[in-house]
Amino acid sequence: SQELEQSPQSLIVQEGKNLTINCTSSKTLYGLYWYKQKYGEGLIFLMMLQKGGEEKSHEKITAKLDEKKQQSSLHITASQPSHAGIYLCGAALMEYGNKLVFGAGTILRVKS
């Protein structure tokens, strides 16, 4: 079993539509990272959330951290083809000290 579950596993949206990706931890977390990856390439850092209720935005991407639910959501508004890729969440979990664990990723395709 994985400490971080991402949902959905994959997603196809029409260009211009909004979408949400979720990341849920089975253990207490004290930091949550969102990364984007193009297939076969490195990860690009998007945002880091550290406090419960924290919300950050970058261009059309917004991420929130719900500490009580041990969950984070990534919301993309008015999706564009450039948003396509794999979105990964990574978390610092109390149990593992400073080590980051990652979810399996959500594959996003945006249809023009």
Contact residues for another protein (CB under 8 A)?
Answer: 2, 4, 30-31, 33, 35, 40-45, 48, 50, 88, 90, 92, 97-105
Q: How far is the CB of 17 from another protein (least distance, A)?
A: 26
Taking the C-alpha atoms of residue 42 and residue 77, their distance in angstroms, rounded to an integer, is 24
Closer to another protein by Cβ: residue 40 or 112:
40
- C-alpha dihedral sign at 60, 41, 35, 112: positive
Q: Which is nearer to another protein, 16 or 62 (CB)?
A: 62
Decide whether 51 or 111 has the Cβ nearer to another protein.
Answer: 51
Rg (CA), the chain: 13
CA distance 93 to 71: 12
CB of 20 to another protein, least distance (A): 20
> 82 φ, ψ to 5°?
-70, -15
